[in-house]
Amino acid sequence: MASLNVLIVGGGIAGPAAAYWLSRIPSAKITLIERSSQMRASGQQLDLRVAGVDMMKKMGIEPAVRAVRCREPGTQIIDTDGRTKGYFPAAGHGGGRQSMTSEYEIMRGDLVKILYSLTENSPNVRHVYNRTVENFTQGNENDPNSKVHVIFSDGHQEDYDLVLAADGTGSKTRKIMLGPDAPDPRHRTGGYIAYFSIPSQPWDSDRSTFCQLPGPHMARTIITRKDCPELTRVYMILGKRDDSIDAALKSGDLTALKKAFADIYADDWWETKRFMRALLDTSEADDLYCTPYEEVRLPEGSWSKGRVILIGDAAHSATANGYGTSWGLIGPYLLAGELASRYEKDRPFPTVSIIEAAKKYEEIWRPVALAGHGGSAFAGSIFPPQVGGWH
Ligand SMILES: Cc1cc2nc3c(=O)[nH]c(=O)nc-3n(C[C@H](O)[C@H](O)[C@H](O)COP(=O)(O)OP(=O)(O)OC[C@H]3O[C@@H](n4cnc5c(N)ncnc54)[C@H](O)[C@@H]3O)c2cc1C
Ligand SMILES: *[C@@H]1O[C@H](CO)[C@@H](O)[C@H](O)[C@H]1NC(C)=O
Ligand SMILES: *[C@@H]1O[C@H](CO)[C@@H](O)[C@H](O)[C@H]1NC(C)=O
């Protein structure tokens, strides 16, 4: 019996979602590889929105998501003395579908675990950690039985009928697929978003709390959120690039990154002083994570090449626009549908059918997935541009 041998690179949101849908194709054999040495169940609060909520229900994980979701009552905007200036209840708490707090807020790590659990006991899905793709080549597109020849980081080689790149905004798989001469499709669209945890105080609000700081040199916003009793999560949004942050990101020096942010937020508005002291002095804040605002902009028709296909942020990332998670679940479902409808049981999957499915997937999904680019469709964003001011 001919099996469909699939490699999925990246165990974030889109990777495990794709593993789940593809595992339902008869005779599919799936390997999901993750670069980290264990499940990368980190990150802050994510929200599922609009069609992402329907998708989650379709995957049968709504009860699991409900069981761990963050009970954030809503979002408030405060002034620099901490006084509430506006309040927007969460969707499902009297707020509409477009509220800043979605009905389904969940910690990223919890969602990753739930998605992995969908295929943990599947006989046709294998999860491998501490593994990445070193390089690959593929046969001619006119050869119906061509394969993708993959060389892994540990040196071993294997052939696949299909490779899905789910390795995020900085996708290495995408780089190999596009070729050495292709320009980097990542475009900077503003400053940064960064988050860290601090020990909480009894007066920290359980609302998502936005405070825009005045100051001459750049737009700075502080947001706090609270998903558990012991910790308060502090988010920092910066409107512009900064040399010391770029240098710290490049070197991976956590202490330098902390210092760069503490320098920029070195004033006394609201509780900024307390937050920055905790950033510098407490181990809770060692989870500091920072990413520049950027978008992946690929030319039309370049989401796939032969038997290699991009999904999730690797295809269409737009940092923190509020849709990344929902889109990361929906894209793999659409692609799996296109593949499944062209798949004939017990027969090899011809190259031309895979290419057709990949093109169709891009054709239907690209216009929606790119709608949040360029700040043009911010209707449901948790960080509306007028608050962050990074455009
Ligand atoms: C650690 C982390 C924290 C995040 N925190 C937040 C957050 O707080 N809020 C928010 O809105 N969004 C966050 N994001 C982004 C968010 O998860 C994505 O925008 C979205 O869910 C789409 O998911 P994705 O699966 O396409 O990409 P990602 O979630 O980025 O997942 C990509 C996965 O691929 C792995 N990987 C990368 N390169 C390779 C490689 N070469 N080989 C093998 N594996 C590789 C990564 O370790 C990661 O597990 C975070 C992402 C990461 C990786
Ligand atoms: C990958 O393999 C191709 C073809 O053999 C080669 O041209 C390219 O340099 C290799 N790339 C890397 C990153 O090793
Ligand atoms: C990860 O894999 C590399 C080889 O690719 C190996 O040298 C290293 O020991 C592995 N690390 C863990 C934690 O398994």
Instruction: Look at residue 85 and give its three-state secondary structure.
Output: strand
pTM as predicted = 0.92
- CA 54-57-58 angle, to 5 degrees, is 85
Q: Among the listed ranges 41-45, 323-327, 382-386, which one has the minimum average pLDDT value?
A: 382-386
Q: What is the mean pLDDT of residues 179-203?
A: 95
Residue 130: CB within 6 Å of ligand 3? yes
pLDDT of residue 375: 57
| pLDDT greater than 50 at residue 218 | yes
Q: Options 2.60.40.1840, 3.40.718.10, 3.30.870.10, 3.50.50.60; which CATH number does 4-69+106-184+297-369 get? A: 3.50.50.60
Reported as a pLDDT band with limits 50, 70 and 90, residue 92 is low
pLDDT of residue 100: 64
- Listed ranges 109-123, 315-329, 361-375; the one with the highest mean pLDDT: 109-123
Tens digit of pLDDT for each residue in 222-258?
A: 999 999 999 999 999 999 999 999 999 999 999 999 9
Which atom of ligand 1 lies at the shortest distance from residue 17's CA?
25
- CA torsion sign for 260, 265, 267, 273 is negative
Round to whole Å and give the CA distance between 324 and 329.
9
| pLDDT greater than 70 at residue 51 | yes
The torsion angles phi and psi of 279, rounded to 5 degrees, stand at -60, -45
Helices first, then strands: H and E counts in the chain: 12, 18
Atom 53 of ligand 1 has which residue's CA nearest to it? 12
- CA 34–ligand 3 middle distance (angstroms): 12
pLDDT of residue 97: 53
Ligand 2 pocket mutation pick from 134, 135, 305 by most atoms within 8 angstroms of CB? 135
Atom 3 of ligand 3 has which residue's CA nearest to it? 154
Atom 8 of ligand 3 has which residue's CA nearest to it? 130
pLDDT of residue 387: 27
Residue 153: CB within 6 Å of ligand 1? no
Tens digit of pLDDT for each residue in 295-354?
A: 999 999 999 999 999 999 999 999 988 889 999 999 999 999 999 999 988 889 999 999
Residue 74 Ramachandran class (φ > 0 left, ψ -120 to 50 alpha, else beta): left
Domain residue ranges in the chain: 4-69+106-184+297-369, 188-294
* C-beta separation of 291 from 192 below 8 A: yes
